[in-house]
A = this chain, B = another copy of it.
Amino acid sequence: MDHQNGSVGVVEKQCFELERYTTVGGQLIPRLRVGYETYGTLAPGADNVVLVAHHFSGNSHCAGYYSEGDPVPGYWDAIIGPGKAIDTDRYFVISCDTLVNLNVADPNTITTGPASLDPSRGRPYAMRFPVVTVADFVRVQKALLESLGIERLVAAIGPSAGAMQALQWGVDYPEWVGRVICAIGPGLSTPAYSIAQFGTWCAYIRQDPSWRNGDYYEEGPPLAGMSNALALLTLNALHFDGIERAFAGRRADPDRDPATSWDARFRVQEHIEQIGSARASAIDANSFLYMVKGLQQFSVRERLAELRAPVLFLPAASDLLYPPQLSHAAAEQLGALGKQAEVFVIEGDGGHLDGLGRIEQAAAPIERFLREGLST
């Protein structure tokens, strides 16, 4: 195969609207809007569709550029494009901003969540927005696909929270889904450990007096809590070795020994905090809480009988957030049930984030899996 490393180029964010959406939990969301992107061409039979679902803090921008001068492509640009693993000369790729997406201040994200106007009150929902789960994300995506005349997916695929959505697709709509690819996912359910860990992120927000039980849209957001939550999330998504390589022994100020005063610190502390602060104002704190709440509910364990699609798990070797053992255990459990499942490990010392930054390692397994399924 000739990997020409082509780009899908400048992409356009589109908007999908539903007049009314009833959540899996039975609550009504009127005037639901979510953004989406597509790359490649929908075949006349609509039989070449690959759905890519995004991670916790991401959006539907998984390939290409927002403009000619845009320096950074979509998060999985390394594997999505003409001639790449998910070959847009062959497949019609579609990705959708989730409900309760975090990036409400980003003009390139369209979502409906706690920061949206509650039409019945003329003010943001805040914590009055219905609780939604991964099954809701998937149900909205299905409505979008149906609106485009699509009734079948070559594959549902995604990293991290996107891996949850891909598996949820597999059990909720087994007749739709040909294959499932779970990159850096938690396996068949969100582990109890992760449920608690997500809670530690949220605790900073809840502890911030500016959070005001979610009603901060007039007075100003809980930036301190949001910054600390993002700093911890960032650290959880990295690994000892990568951090050590970059920061071992480095001081924030080379002339000041951290052992001598409170003002002097190590560079790694500053680095993590700066990442948190830099992103805090772009992210809505309530949406963060809602996204966590949704991901905490993820489990397909009781639904495995319904799964038809073979599953390819792509854990990252150094992932501390969802250690690779979770993917191995999931594949074993599926195998024990007579399902097809396989694991390919992404090597590196970058932790969970290797599922984004080092995904190219999995290009050949992904390309082959999409064309042929599992070798076994």
Contact = CB atoms under 8 A, between A and B. Distances in A.
Given A249-B299, A266-B296, A192 B244 contact: yes
A260 interface: yes
Copies of the chain in the assembly: 2
Contacts of A243: 191-193, 196
Contact of A192 (B133, B261, B268): B268
Interface SS of chain A: helix
B299 A197 contact: no
Contact of A225 (B207, B231, B248, B325): B207
A172 interface: no
A41 interface: no
Interface string A244-276: 101111100000001111100010110111000
Contact of A207 (B208, B248, B299): B208
Given A207-B208, A208-B207, A228-B207, A259 B197 contact: no
Interface string A109-143: 00000000000000000010001010000000000
A219 B250 CA distance: 37
A326 interface: yes
A258 B120 CA distance: 26
A374 interface: no
A128 B216 CA distance: 35
A297 interface: yes
A204 interface: yes
Contact of A232 (B200, B224, B258, B272): B200
Q: Which of A193, A246, A258 has the most CB of B within 10 A?
A: A193
Interface in A198-217: 199-200, 203-204, 207-209
Interface stretch (A60-68, A149-157, A160-168, A233-241): A233-241
Contact of A200 (B231, B260, B320): B231
Contacts of A258: 293, 296-297
B200 A203 contact: no
Contact of A25 (B199, B238, B246, B260): B260
B131 A193 contact: no
A221 to B, nearest CB: 14
Contacts of A208: 207
B131 A261 contact: yes
Interface string A44-79: 000000000000000000000000000000000000
A269 B195 contact: yes
Contact of A228 (B25, B189, B200, B246): B200
Nearest to A294: B259
A293 B244 contact: no
Interface string A311-339: 00000000010010110000000000000
A235 B193 contact: yes
A191 to B, nearest CB: 5
9 contacts: A193-B239, A196-B243, A196-B266, A196-B271, A196-B272, A199-B272, A240-B325, A258-B293, A259-B297
